[in-house]
Structure 1
Amino acid sequence: MPYTASALPLDQLNHWQQIAFLCALGEHSLPNYQLFSELCDSGDPAVLRQNLNLLWDCAAGIQSAKNFEKQVDLLEENTPNPTHFDSYGARPALDSCVLISAALSCAMKASLDDCQSASILSLATVAEFLEFSGALETDSDQPAPLQDQDLYQQEQAFQQLVCDRLLAHKTPTKAFIKQLRELAHNDGVSHIGISVD
């Protein structure tokens, strides 16, 4: 695959930083689910929003993860199966659920694998969107290089920035988590350019 998490220093993140990294990816992808839910009248974005609120608080150290199994169950109930929908939007909506599920799992038990898999998935969502939208089409038989696409470069830069900011903070503070959350929210625009505002 052309997308990889190997360049990111994910192995240097401690537990709260892992949770915050995954929260950032989930927050950044949330508009994809919100738009899918609105257009297809399926799923409840409020469940994903609640999950992220709890996860951000967990990263900040003001929320325990002891009851997160219930949140996992609620998330699964609202996770779309793309084969059941004609809309392409079901796919990035599923990816959003998978990212938040990884964050919930990591909150209950630290996991470098969850971070690496989520990083790759988030990049793959962008790559698949670029392919679907025709952005990779050229006049030749060869598709345009993925690495040259703005959305893909922006997602790589976003993940790098989140890692850099996390590694610059040894302990979580409410102020820092708020700043990171605002960065990931990106004025309500997702990593594939979706906005429901």
Structure 2
Amino acid sequence: MSGAEIALIAIGVLAMVGVVLVNFAQRVDRLHRRVISSRATLEAQLVKRAEAAGNLARANHLDPASTLIVADAAWNAAVHARRLVGGDSDLADSGADRGLVESELTMDLRAALGGPEDIAALRAQSETANLLDDLEQACYRAQLARRFHNDAVVATRRLRQNPLVRWFHLAGRAAMPVTFEMDDEVFRGTPTAT
């Protein structure tokens, strides 16, 4: 083999390695954008859930103590909780404090709404039925948004564990994303409305 043939083979191998590395870098970037997008969607759905809970509390169809507790938890979730996107939040922020606030709202809603019989009694009132339907839809959408976000995070973390991605720093300086954990089962054990 001549020197030119060896050089040509080396250039071909380097080109293939370059193509593979570029492909990995593009996949990492795409997954990071997916995580950012799903995090923004999750934030929007959590705010809608808090608004639906606040609307239910303002309707005064719950007992007075439950009304105050749900209204306070909804206010904390909608206004005082740290945002998942924007400001100083980043992908490495687990949103643990936000998860606790959202879990508190979930527990307060479960306590205020009671069991399936209590929810059925609330649904018997037409105004409350609409508010409960809105709340149930908002809770379901928040659950889905959290699952999609966590799936995107898991896929990103899995790809970033690839040795080529780590050795060649294909993720750049992007923070390692983390999942968002919270209790989101408000209507546990109750039949869903259609």
TM range (shorter): 0.3 to 0.5
Larger Rg belongs to: 2
The TM-score normalised by the length of structure 2 is 0.36
Higher relative contact order (CA 8 A, sep 6+): 1
